[in-house]
Amino acid sequence: MPDTRRRGDDLVRAIYSSALAELAESSFEELSFEKIALRARTGKAALYRRWSTTADLVLDALTDPAAGFGETRPPRTGSLRGDLMVLLGGFAWILDEPHGRALVQLITQRQRHPALFERVRELVFRPRQELIQELLGKAGTARLAAVGPRLVLVAHIESGPVSEAEVEAIVDEVLLPLVG
Amino acid sequence: MPDTRRRGDDLVRAIYSSALAELAESSFEELSFEKIALRARTGKAALYRRWSTTADLVLDALTDPAAGFGETRPPRTGSLRGDLMVLLGGFAWILDEPHGRALVQLITQRQRHPALFERVRELVFRPRQELIQELLGKAGTARLAAVGPRLVLVAHIESGPVSEAEVEAIVDEVLLPLVG
DNA sequence: CGATAAGGAACGGTATCGTTCACTAAGCAC
DNA sequence: GTGCTTAGTGAACGATACCGTTCCTTATCG
């Protein structure tokens, strides 16, 4: 039975994954090295050797490209409506993924962990907002470009997973009328 | 030194106040009978005599009219813009009050404490949404009426207290164009 | 084979838990 | 007022869980 003990990056990625999964299921306040180590089936020592707080660990986990927040490319479907649907639909989808639910837990941490919150904003909100602002052209102020992602986010917080139909409604009833 | 020991409703209101204050400063997960009792300068026994979980306590605290979530009356300033400003401005103001910050802590509790979240929705979101929908007249769908409060809420979550100018921008750049 | 680091158990320390106790202030009946 | 009943105060309890750290064993890699 070879390869029964993970090392290095292999182990680190497993830890990241466990941390985000744990975060998605509970809350940042309830995160602990103990639970993360248990879920990753490793010892706490391996964690303390690398990080000194759960905030540091989560910060690294978010930054890791493998987490899936990396690139957000412009859709180019041909129509503004199509592009908005792809961008916001993708956002809604991510929010329901494990690592996306971890993100949702972090948005309430602005005051207590500014660095963590800022990282979330950089990884999730800013790239989408910038893309949308480009799509909207000269009509798109920063505030207007933020409306779509923000509405999707609150919809998710209030009612859970945001359906395609809901995204459609946001695009058709709010965003398009505003720029048309 | 008379009246040094509170009883009944007097004490209960002090407990409610302490619970919401404690919640505003930390998070729902970190709430404990111990902290609430300490802040209210009473014994834990007085709390356990009335509630069995912090969720029950907070639920009652929110429901208490003295908490300040009670009435939300239509503004009637004469103009749609004025009415929207009053409603959304008032909402933004509440979110920065102690009991409003307690509310913000609860909006992430939908999955773990549905009853608690539902109460928050009833007390804060629904009344404002209904009033706005009335204001908008026949042009106002439920989804459209929710846009204002939702944008104010996310603005608060992302950047802290929402200024009058920010509310003005939401009204002028988003809401009014949508119904004009 | 030797150096490194993972696995896992154990440590003492701390926090909160829910409960119980004796004490005494407050409210009520008379 | 006096006395009785109710209930808030405040401290203590043992139980439990988890904290962050350290230890020894052993797999992995060069």
Residues of B in contact with A143 (CB under 8 A): 169-170, 173-174
DSSP states along B44-62: HHHHHTT-SSHHHHHHHHH
- The pair of structure tokens assigned to A109 is 């941490």
Separation of alpha carbons A74 and A86, rounded Å: 9
Reported as a pLDDT band with limits 50, 70 and 90, residue A71 is low
pLDDT of residue A177: 93
The three-state secondary structure class of B161 is: coil
Task: Report how far apart, in Å, the C-alpha atoms of A91 and of each of A125, B153, B180 are.
Answer: 9, 19, 29
Positive or negative, the CA dihedral A63, A65, A66, A67 is positive
Q: What is the distance in angstroms measured between the alpha-carbon CA of A39 and the sugar C1' of C22? A: 47
Neighbours of B6 (CB within 10 A): 16
Query: Which A positions 115-134 lie with beta carbon below 8 A of chain B?
Result: 121, 125
Q: Between A163 and A72, where is the model more confident? A: A163
| Cβ partners under 8 Å of residue B99, min gap 6 | B20, B24, B67, B68, B69
Burial (Cβ within 10 Å: 0-12, 13-18, ≥19) of residue B70: exposed
* A56-65: pLDDT as tens digits: 999 899 888 7
Task: Please tell me what DSSP assigns to residue B125.
Answer: I
Strand C closer than 7 A to residue A6 Cβ: yes
Q: CA of A42, closest CA in chain B: separation in Å?
A: 26
Q: CA of B10, closest CA in chain A: separation in Å?
A: 33
Q: Say yes or no to pLDDT of B101 above 50.
A: yes
* B137-171: pLDDT as tens digits: 887 799 999 999 999 999 999 999 999 999 999 99
- The pair of structure tokens assigned to A156 is 């998710």
Q: Say yes or no to pLDDT of B17 above 50.
A: yes
Separation of alpha carbons A121 and B49, rounded Å: 44
Q: Which candidate, A28, A53, A33, places its Cα nearest to that of A45?
A: A33
Positive or negative, the CA dihedral B94, B57, B21, B40 is positive
Reported as a pLDDT band with limits 50, 70 and 90, residue B64 is confident
Separation of alpha carbons A102 and A116, rounded Å: 12
Average pLDDT of span B83-90: 94
| Cβ partners under 8 Å of residue A107, min gap 6 | A117, A120, A153, B157, B158
Q: Say yes or no to pLDDT of A3 above 60.
A: no
Q: Say yes or no to pLDDT of A26 above 80.
A: yes
pLDDT of residue B83: 95
Q: Which candidate, A101, A88, A87, A91, places its Cα nearest to that of A23?
A: A101
Which amino acid is residue A98, in one-letter code? Answer: P
Residues of A in contact with B105 (CB under 8 A): 108
pLDDT of residue B2: 45
Chain B interface includes A152 (CB < 8 A): no
Task: Report how far apart, in Å, the C-alpha atoms of B141 and of each of B16, B136, B159, B161, B172 are.
Answer: 36, 8, 28, 28, 19
Q: Dihedrals φ, ψ of A12, to 5°? A: -60, -40
Mean pLDDT for chain A? 89
A107 in Cβ contact with A120 (< 8 Å): yes
> Which helix (H) or strand (E) is A34 found in, with range?
helix A33-39
DSSP states along B96-118: HSHHHHHHHHHTT-TTT-HHHHH
pLDDT of residue B1: 40
Q: Which of B44-58, B66-80, B158-172 has the lowest mean pLDDT?
A: B66-80
Q: What is the distance in angstroms measured between the alpha-carbon CA of A69 and the sugar C1' of D30? A: 35
Q: Which of A34-43, A154-163, B80-89, B170-179 has the lowest mean pLDDT?
A: A34-43
Separation of alpha carbons A167 and A154, rounded Å: 12
Query: Closest-CA residue in chain B for A140?
Result: B173
Q: What is the distance in angstroms measured between the alpha-carbon CA of A41 and the sugar C1' of C8? A: 10
**Percentage helix, strand, coil, to 5, in chain A?**
75, 0, 25
Across the interface, whether the CB atoms of A158 and B30 are under 8 A apart is answered no
Separation of alpha carbons A25 and A102, rounded Å: 8
Q: Say yes or no to pLDDT of B39 above 70.
A: yes
Q: What is the percent of chain B with per-residue pLDDT over 90, rounded to a whole number?
A: 58
Query: Closest-CA residue in chain B for A146?
Result: B151
Residue B50: nearest nucleotide (C-alpha to C1'):
D7
